[in-house]
């Protein structure tokens, strides 16, 4: 008769084998189908088989792809094809994706040869550009990339904290009528700052202070125990505004992604109380978001039980499930509580059944509530590229290795 420990180890071994295989298939899918050998950078609008169905390029994805291939070099050792893919995206961004006339703000989309198409208010293009350059510096020691990362980091930080936008685009709502705060800003700032801190030891104290500021901002303005929710949007002082749709929205996947950002900070600072708060965030998001009828995590939830405004609110998207797998396994590692391993394995089984595609590799991006892919199915889009999935697979692969060896 097998013991509970032996059964758990067997589950971890099986999970690691599958995750490792999926990572290889995912990387091959993007290297074989996404990289642009003519203009540089990456195409991300790919159908199920890897065929490009739109040549316009997402600037977010240039940065994210540049980061992931440098990250893989850091995690598994440098491979030339990975380093070349990262460099291709960095070069494409440098040559085509920066609006030099508007304070080095970056575009949101460009054509395949780099002509600008769209600029947006928020500065997440800049955050992913900074991540990519920082990670590439960490692998290669290229100081030019470090300086680019530092400059973009400062630009993003300032814009996320009320700095003047060089493009002149105003806020999305009339500020005299309504203003407030968005959860995405401190969350992404925390993640970016952790990357910068890992590679740029010369500015360690700055990143330490800013990481703490991000954590404080999250709990001061968005963490609402009375609602058992982290709200996506709040008033200027963090007040819950339940009288209209935007104020009631909770994005369970976003909250669960923030959990592992916060857990990394807790590990760096030995903050046991923060780990307990992370458990709250994860459990609230799971309890509200997990679909007990069909399985999988709902995309948006109204904390008052009202109809969410977004049409896709009951769809199942790939990236929230990626975040569950990272955060649940990290919570299990850090707390030893079996409930998080159970949620990890439950989510992994769901992903194997509905998101994974053994025939062509990579994962479907968008499922209906019942788990069937939207038709025709796609593996990439303006918002989906080589980022969430390979990030998850590589992180989970390494955590499983640690747990198996423990």
Q: What is the pLDDT of residues 190-245, one digit of tens each?
A: 999 999 999 999 999 999 999 999 999 999 999 999 999 999 999 999 999 999 99
Beta bridge partners of 45: 54
Structure tokens at 310: 């977004």
Q: What is the radius of gyration, based on Cα positions, of the chain?
A: 20
The residue behind tokens 């760096």 is 268
- DSSP, res 300: -
Phi, psi of 52 (to 5 degrees): -75, 125
Q: Rounded to an integer, what is the distance from CA 188 to the centroid of its chain? A: 8
Residue 99 and residue 56 in contact, taking contact as beta carbons nearer than 8 Å: no
pLDDT of residue 5 exceeding 90, the answer is: no
Residue 262 and residue 334 in contact, taking contact as beta carbons nearer than 8 Å: no
CATH code for the part of the protein at 1-33+180-406: 1.50.10.10
Task: Give the lowest-confidence range in 49-53, 254-258, 263-267, 307-311.
Answer: 307-311
**How confident is the model over 317-372, as pLDDT tens digits?**
999 999 999 999 999 999 999 999 999 999 999 999 999 999 999 999 999 999 99
pLDDT the model gives residue 168: 87
Of the chain, the percentage scoring pLDDT greater than 70 comes to 100
Beta-sheet strands, E only, within 154-242: 181-182, 223-224, 229-230, 233-234
CA distances from 264 to 7, 259, 344 (A): 28, 9, 18
Q: Rounded to an integer, what is the distance from CA 206 to the centroid of its chain? A: 23
Phi, psi of 284 (to 5 degrees): -60, -45
What are the residue boundaries of the structural domains of the chain, listed by start? 1-33+180-406, 54-166
Whole-number Å distance between alpha carbons of 252 and 326: 14
CA distances from 69 to 141, 175, 278, 361, 394 (A): 15, 40, 29, 18, 11
N- to C-terminal Cα distance for the chain?
22
Whole-number Å distance between alpha carbons of 154 and 3: 53
Phi-psi map region of 336: left, alpha, beta (phi>0 left; psi -120 to 50 alpha): left
Of the pLDDT bands very low, low, confident and very high (cuts 50, 70, 90), residue 282 is: very high
């Amino acid at each position: 008769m097998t013991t509970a420990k032996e059964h758990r180890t067997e589950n971890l071994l099986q999970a690691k084998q599958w995750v490792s295989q999926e990572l290889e298939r995912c990387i091959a899918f993007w290297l074989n189908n996404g990289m642009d050998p003519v203009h540089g950078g990456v195409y991300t609008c790919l159908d199920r088989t890897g065929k490009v169905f739109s040549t316009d390029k997402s600037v977010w994805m240039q940065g994210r792809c540049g980061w992931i291939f440098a990250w893989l070099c850091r995690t598994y050792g440098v491979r030339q094809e990975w380093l070349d893919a990262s460099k291709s995206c960095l070069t494409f961004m440098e040559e085509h994706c920066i609006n030099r006339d508007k304070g080095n703000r970056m575009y949101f989309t460009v054509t395949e040869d780099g002509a600008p198409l769209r600029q947006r208010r928020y500065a997440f293009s800049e955050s992913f550009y900074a991540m990519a350059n920082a990670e590439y510096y960490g692998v290669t020691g290229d100081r030019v990339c470090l300086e680019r990362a530092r400059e973009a980091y400062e630009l993003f930080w300032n814009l996320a904290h009320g700095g003047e936008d060089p493009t002149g685009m105003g806020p999305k709502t009339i500020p005299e009528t309504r203003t407030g705060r968005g959860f995405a800003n401190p969350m992404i700032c925390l993640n970016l700052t952790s990357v910068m801190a890992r590679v740029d030891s010369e500015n360690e104290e700055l990143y330490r202070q800013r990481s703490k500021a991000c954590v404080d901002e999250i709990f001061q303005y968005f963490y609402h125990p009375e609602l058992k929710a982290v709200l996506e949007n709040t008033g200027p002082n963090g007040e819950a505004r339940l009288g209209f749709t935007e104020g009631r929205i909770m994005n369970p996947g976003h909250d669960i992604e923030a959990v592992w950002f916060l857990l990394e900070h807790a590990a760096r600072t030995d903050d046991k109380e923060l780990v307990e708060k992370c458990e709250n965030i994860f459990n609230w998001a799971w309890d509200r978001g997990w679909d007990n009828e069909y399985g999988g995590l709902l995309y948006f939830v109204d904390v008052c039980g009202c109809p969410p405004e977004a049409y896709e609110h009951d769809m199942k998207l790939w990236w929230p499930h990626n975040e569950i797998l990272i955060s649940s396994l990290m919570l299990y590692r850090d707390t030893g509580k079996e409930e998080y391993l159970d949620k990890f394995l439950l989510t992994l089984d769901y992903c194997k059944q509905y998101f994974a595609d053994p025939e062509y590799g990579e994962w479907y991006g968008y499922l209906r509530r019942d788990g069937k892919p939207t038709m025709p199915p796609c593996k990439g889009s303006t918002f989906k590229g080589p980022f969430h999935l390979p990030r998850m697979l590589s992180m989970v692969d390494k955590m499983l290795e640690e747990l198996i060896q423990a």
